[in-house]
Structures are given as structure tokens and as C-alpha cells.
Chain A
């Protein structure tokens, strides 16, 4: 279970990254965000954004064209 869920299915990068960035800016360290997306580019871009901002990608899963990325917000 995640603390929050962000549904950006049907959106193309960089929109999912921008929405993810916006949502995380309002979250606290230790909280988790589940991002649901469909653009394969998110599998690269969201983890890259997390790495440069120091957040942790806990899990990624892909099923039938749907992608789920679980992020732990870090300071």
C-alpha cells in the first residue's frame, strides 16, 4: 500500500514527471507515492528524476502496457 497514488495513464513524458514532481513536493520524507502510467518513457524518466532528487524507487512493475512505479520520498 502506498500513502498516495498518482494516475497519469495516457499522459506522455514529461507530463508524468512534472505531475510526480508536483505531488512529491507536498509530501513528507518516508511517505510513498504510487505512480500509474502507460508511457514506456516513464520507466526511464521517473527513476532518473528520483535519482537526481534523492528519492528512492522501491518497485517498478509492468503489466499489459500499464506501468506502476512506487517511490519513497526522501529528504
Chain B
């Protein structure tokens, strides 16, 4: 937001690009859960674009992003976040888009030293080089601390109008936001990617281990954002909705998975992901019963729909807390 306004102040036309990897923490995540319904559902990128008066192009990179996540040249951060490769990929895509659409250079809001992986002084040239953007990549907020780029050398940009922000502190950014009259902005250092989340990364790792390979589809990574995930057996896991919003979301996957729910007591919808036998189904049913209103009942009736949608009714005793080993929780 600040970098864009700094460039706009020089009379330059700017348009925004936002990439959707599938791992983005955005309004849709709150849309799923009923308890989050009161949270603002705005898409931050769209909101920022509107504040700045610029066009925004949202680009689906779900498929292309797989290679970034699965084969990060620079490795991962503390979880499954391939931040440096991710930044290089996005700058590359932005640069390609800019060249195809007749733009002269690209800008990012990067600040030297602000992030431990992707915004270090030594990684900034790596991103410029590996993205192929080279000196058509301008970081307006730290430009004065970096070598002059092509737009500065050519006089398209006045270097004096650019900034010298540096480090993790946000005071200069907050002061500049005030100067520009920005009263509302995305919270600094707010996680915007599920891959930085330890619990999400554990679920993704579990998915890969269970399948014996690291392939994934969009639905896989969406489902990891929702429900309790428990793995009672190596070959299958059970995804149990935690509340009504998640129930509705999981309903959309009923045709793809064995699914079950209680008919004798209110309770969650659950999906079974993997290969199961009759004993596994019964164990899953006892597990699902544990998370419904019938948890203390002697017997709970559940309906299990198989892949062919054939229904089977089971009467089971809910598992107790002690019956559920902690290691089942992913």
C-alpha cells in the first residue's frame, strides 16, 4: 500500500497483482466457520486496491505453485513455508505479466531486514536475479539503500522520492501511512499463508506420509483448513466438523468421501479419507459419536454413506476421552 502510493506520488500509473496459491488465509476461511461470521470478510487485496484507486488482477497459481512448495531451492522456514522461493516465484510471475501488458517495471513493498528469510539484504538480489526481473524490480520503501534500478537510472523514477526503510520496526511505515492519510491497513506481520502455521504444516505432512507421495490437489489443501483431523489407522483419517459452518462446508465433499453422521443425537458430519474396512468404519463411527451430543449415551445411531452412496446404519458406543490417544490428533 505504501510502496504503491510512493510511486503514484511520482505520477506513475500502477496496477496491482494478487496471486492465489490455495494456501492464502483470506476471507473464505472465516466464511467457513460460523463462529467467524462476524469477522470482516473483505478481501484485503481488493480493499487495498480500492483505497489506492488502482486496478487489481487476481491470478490463480494453484497448479504452478505446487513446484514451489514441493521443490524449494532455498528450503523451508520454520514450517512448510518456502518463503524465498515463493517470493521469487511471485516476482517472476508479476514481471512476466507486466511485460506482457506493456508495463515498464514492477514494485514490491519489501523492506530490507523486515523478514528473516525473504527480505534480507543478501536475499534481495537473489529474488531480483532468480525472478528474471533484475533491475526492473524496484523496492520503493528501501530503494535508497539498494543500487539504482533501471527506472531510476533512466529517470522514469526520481530516486530522491524513494525511501530508505530498514529493519523489523514498523514505525517509519506507520508514520508514512499517517502522512498519506491511511487510517486502516492490514495488520503488520499478520500471517497471510497457512504454510507458516505449524498445525497446518503438520496436517499437510501427515497427508503426504499417508499417501506415500507429496502430490496434492486443491481440495486436499482446502480440507486441511477445516475440522478436526484424527488418524486412528495408517490407511485412513477422519475429518470431523467442529461446528455448523464446517458441517456445511464438508457437505460439499460428501460425494467424494465415505461420510457419516449421527441420526439419534445432534452431531457433526465427518468424512473418511483413505481406505477402510468394516472395523475401521465402526471405530470411526464411535469416534464421531464422541464429538456429538450423544457422547455420554450408551448407544448412538449413525448413518454411514459409502462411495456409491449406499447407506448403512450403525449403533455404536461412543469412545470416551481416554479411548482416543493423543497421537490420533493431527
Chain A residues with a Cβ under 8 A of chain B? 10, 12-15, 17-18, 21, 39-41, 44-45, 48-49, 51-53
Rank and list the top 7 A-B pairs by shortest CB-CB distance, nearest first. Answer: A12-B28, A48-B46, A41-B27, A41-B41, A13-B28, A45-B43, A41-B31
| Contact for A21 among B27, B42, B58, CB less than 8 A | B58
Q: Which of the segments B47-55, B88-96, B205-213, B312-320 contacts the partner chain? A: B47-55
B11 CB-CB contact with A under 8 Å: no
Contact with A along B212-228 (1 / 0, CB 8 A): 00000000001000000
- Known contacts A44-B43, A52-B49, A52-B55: does B20 contact A39 (CB below 8 Å)? no
- Tally of chain B residues near chain A (CB < 8 A): 26
Shortest CB–CB separation between residue B47 and chain A, in angstroms? 7
Return the chain B residue nearest A22 by Cβ. Answer: B60
B32 CB-CB contact with A under 8 Å: yes
Residues of A within 8 A of B54 (CB): 52
Q: Are A48 and B28 in contact (CB under 8 A)?
A: no
Chain B residues with a Cβ under 8 A of chain A? 18, 20, 24, 26-28, 31-32, 37, 41-43, 46-47, 49-50, 53-60, 222, 252
Residues of A within 8 A of B49 (CB): 52
Residues of A within 8 A of B31 (CB): 12-13, 39-41
A41–B28 alpha-carbon span in the complex (Å)? 7
Q: Are A52 and B41 in contact (CB under 8 A)?
A: no
14 contacts between A and B (CB under 8 A): A12-B31, A12-B222, A13-B26, A13-B28, A13-B31, A14-B28, A17-B58, A40-B31, A41-B31, A41-B41, A41-B43, A44-B41, A45-B46, A49-B56
Return the chain A residue nearest B56 by Cβ. Answer: A52
Shortest CB–CB separation between residue A47 and chain B, in angstroms? 10
Q: Are B46 and A10 in contact (CB under 8 A)?
A: no
A44–B43 alpha-carbon span in the complex (Å)? 8
Residues of A within 8 A of B41 (CB): 13, 40-41, 44-45
Return the chain A residue nearest B62 by Cβ. Answer: A15
Q: Are A14 and B50 in contact (CB under 8 A)?
A: no
A41–B58 alpha-carbon span in the complex (Å)? 15
Shortest CB–CB separation between residue B21 and chain A, in angstroms? 11
Return the chain A residue nearest B252 by Cβ. Answer: A10
A14–B57 alpha-carbon span in the complex (Å)? 11
Q: Are B20 and A18 in contact (CB under 8 A)?
A: yes
A14–B41 alpha-carbon span in the complex (Å)? 11
Q: Are A51 and B50 in contact (CB under 8 A)?
A: yes
Residues of B within 8 A of A14 (CB): 18, 20, 24, 26, 28, 43, 58
Residues of A within 8 A of B24 (CB): 14
Q: Are A12 and B32 in contact (CB under 8 A)?
A: yes
Q: Are A18 and B60 in contact (CB under 8 A)?
A: yes
Question: Most B CB atoms within 10 A — which of A18, A44, A52?
Answer: A52
Residues of A within 8 A of B60 (CB): 15, 18
| Contact for B55 among A13, A44, A45, A53, CB less than 8 A | A53
Residues of A within 8 A of B20 (CB): 14-15, 18
A52–B27 alpha-carbon span in the complex (Å)? 19
Residues of A within 8 A of B252 (CB): 10
Shortest CB–CB separation between residue B129 and chain A, in angstroms? 30
